[in-house]
């Protein structure tokens, strides 16, 4: 299965196949994809929300997804790819997310083309959840974030250079 470089390359057939492979679709087919930007275009990539319609109802079919593409500018994509950013993020969802004590979105598709650096992650849309502003929130919200982040650390704290998360030992 190829890696679409942007929303224009995500066809109904491609998305139907990706969602079937992920176990989210059985018989339904994608009949509409409405992309919308999320935030600003970043240096490392682009993020879009995909509103999806189907030809018949299915209980596990997502109504929207978050699509994370690699950078559109070839030089930026090459630089980010050379540092392994795309591979590591996809690796997190494949190898660590299931054991992470902090709620993470379900990954429906994740792949990097090693020759070009083109990558795509299709993630569960968690926009319904409360999101803190980067400037912070209330004291109670900040304490909750600190407790959740602390739950990711191994007992006794982190060892410098360690990449081990609790549950991944």
The answer as to whether 123 is a domain residue is yes
Which carries the bigger pLDDT value, residue 70 or residue 160? 70
Question: Could you tell me if residue 117 is inside a domain?
Answer: yes
Domain shared by 55 and 71, yes or no: yes
- According to the 3-state scheme, what is the secondary structure of 19-45? HHHCCCCCCCCEEEEEEEECCCCCCCE
> Do 120 and 69 contact (CB within 8 A), yes or no?
yes
If one counts every other C-beta atom within 10 angstroms of the C-beta of residue 93, the result is: 19
Residue 140: pLDDT band (50, 70, 90) is confident
105, 91 in Cβ contact below 8 A? no
Q: What is the pLDDT of residues 42-65, one digit of tens each?
A: 678 889 999 999 999 999 999 999
Shared domain for 150 and 162, answered yes or no, is yes
Residues 101, 154 within the same domain: no
Tokens for 36, please give them: 């919308």
| Statement to judge: residues 96 and 50 lie in one domain | yes
**Domain range holding 68?**
7-129
Assess whether 140 and 124 both reside in one domain: no
What is the total count of domains within the chain? 2
Q: Are residues 16 and 61 in the same domain?
A: yes
Determine, yes or no, domain membership for 2: no
CA 6 – CA 71 distance, rounded (Å): 10
What are the C-alpha distances in Å from 23 to residues 16, 60, 157? 11, 8, 37
46 shares its domain with 61: yes
Q: What pLDDT shows up at residue 135?
A: 64
* In the chain, % of residues over pLDDT 90: 47
My answer on whether 14 and 70 are in the same domain is yes
Q: Is this prediction's pTM over 0.85?
A: no
Query: What's the gap between Cα 76 and its chain centre?
Result: 20
Strand partners, 123: 66, 107
Residue 111: give its domain's CATH number.
Answer: 3.30.200.20
- Domain co-membership, 33 together with 114: yes
Q: What is the pLDDT of residues 87-98, one digit of tens each?
A: 999 999 999 998
- Identify whether residues 49 and 97 lie together within a single domain: yes
């Amino acid at each position: 299965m190829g890696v679409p470089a942007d929303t224009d390359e995500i066809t109904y057939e491609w998305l139907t196949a990706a969602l079937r492979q992920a176990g989210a679709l059985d018989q339904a087919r994608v009949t509409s994809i409405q992309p919308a930007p999320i935030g600003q275009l970043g240096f490392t990539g682009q993020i879009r929300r995909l509103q999806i319609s189907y030809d018949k109802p299915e209980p596990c079919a997502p109504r929207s997804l978050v699509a994370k593409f690699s950078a559109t500018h070839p030089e930026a994509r090459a630089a980010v790819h050379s540092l392994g950013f795309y591979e590591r993020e996809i690796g997190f969802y494949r190898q660590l997310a299931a054991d992470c004590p902090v709620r993470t979105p379900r990954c429906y598709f994740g792949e990097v083309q090693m020759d070009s650096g083109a990558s795509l992650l299709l993630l569960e849309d968690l926009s319904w959840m409360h999101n803190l502003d980067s400037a912070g929130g209330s004291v109670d919200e900040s304490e909750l974030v600190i407790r959740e982040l602390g739950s990711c650390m191994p007992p006794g704290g982190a060892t410098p250079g360690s990449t081990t998360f609790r549950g991944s030992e």
